[in-house]
Amino acid sequence: MSESWISDRLNAIDASGVRKVFDLAANMTNPVNLSIGQPHFDTPDEIKAALKQAVDDGYNAYSQTQGIAPLREKLQARIDSEYQHADRKVFVSSGTSGALMLSLCTLVNPGDEVIIFDPYFVMYKHLTTLTGGKAVLVDTYPDYKIDVGKVRDALTDRTKVILCNSPSNPTGEVVDEKALRELAELASERDIALISDEIYRAFCYDEPFVSPAKFNDQTIVIDGFSKSHSMTGLRIGFVHGPEHVISQMTKLQQFTFVCAPHPVQWAVLTAMDYDVSGRVDEYHQKRDFMVKELADDYEIAGAGGAFYLFLKTPWGTGTEFVTEAIKHNLLIIPGGVFSSRDTHFRLSYAAEDDTLQRGAEILRTLARKDG
């Protein structure tokens, strides 16, 4: 096959950062794995039972593109109760990743600019590239706080979208209400689309979750059940926002994903009534444990939500440090995968307690090496 067959869009996307980590890890035996960005528990039995029932009941063909009516009605009622926006509508997407792709494809023209906060979830930059847009990174180091003044300075006449993620992957940062209000008001003032990725909203440990949609009724919100209900492989999410945007995203879903997995939509009706507070409390405890274990040897910022720590390496680059960690049978991700800088690494504390204990011991040992 000729390499010239590959599109410029794909050639512009470099997957080598993640690939290198897993190539290095290929020969690891029973690794201490703190790399996985998903819950360590299985999908709750009640949800699995509802999914099996939906399959047995024959809900295995296509659904309506926008999602089954009972689920949309239940989601819409919850959204209306929270926001009271007259024009806010919802549709069901094939995962939050699918929702993100649909939103950027709907909004971004070639050459348009998308504001992304650095560090960022790896998909943001690459999907912007895929749409023909230009990712404009706004630095949040060292504390991962959003400085709206920096955002204002980064805006140009080509800025089309601001992409916000709180709680954040990879930093665990929960953006404070003042910054969210200022960001939402800036987007409204400049007529820029604001996308809020809220997939980790259930996991806020130190302060209540706040959505920028509270301050800007045109905000496009992406949400789902993958993280809160451990349904990552079931590919179900939802999007809500102004009707003129949602209708276009729904149209695009018809010609791409077609619909979200039909039986999973029925299972989500049960998921919406399932109490995840016990799991949130468990991850709160895991966060506290890892922070306590590592505080003497690492600079810790963010960490207010989700289930990640994004830590500055005590020596070397992120890649060098992770390479050494793998030699000690610890699997973590170099920060350069999520950032323009290669100075940090990400660990996930979505793991069993004994795994976290072993990982913390290795990280303390590594911190006290000379590199």
Q: What is the pLDDT of residue 341?
A: 96
Q: How far apart are CA 120 and CA 140, in angstroms?
A: 10
pTM of the model: 0.95
Residue 332: name the closest of 9, 18, 6 by CA. Answer: 18
pLDDT at 20: 65
| Side-by-side strand order, sheet with 134-139 | 88-93, 237-242, 220-224, 193-197, 159-165, 113-118, 134-139
- List per-residue pLDDT tens for the chain, 371 residues long: 567 888 888 887 776 566 666 666 677 778 899 998 889 999 999 999 999 999 999 999 999 999 999 999 999 999 999 999 999 999 999 999 999 999 999 999 999 999 999 999 999 999 999 999 999 999 999 999 999 999 999 999 999 999 999 999 999 999 999 999 999 999 999 999 999 999 999 999 999 999 999 999 999 999 999 999 999 999 999 999 999 999 999 999 999 999 999 999 999 999 999 999 999 999 999 999 999 999 999 999 999 999 999 999 999 999 999 999 999 999 999 999 999 999 999 999 999 999 999 999 999 999 988 65
Strand stretches in the chain, DSSP E: 32-33, 88-93, 113-118, 134-139, 159-165, 193-197, 220-224, 237-242, 308-312, 330-331, 333-334, 344-348
Token pair listed for 311: 């830590």
Residue 22 confidence (pLDDT): 66
Domains present along the chain, CATH in parentheses: 3-43+276-367 (3.90.1150.10), 45-271 (3.40.640.10)
Query: Rounded to an integer, what distance in angstroms lies between the CA atom of residue 176 and that of residue 145?
Result: 8
Cα separations in angstroms, 229 against 22, 203, 209, 276, 314: 26, 11, 17, 7, 35
Asked whether 300 and 317 are in contact (CB, 8 A), the reply is: no
As a whole number of Å, the end-to-end CA separation of the chain is: 43
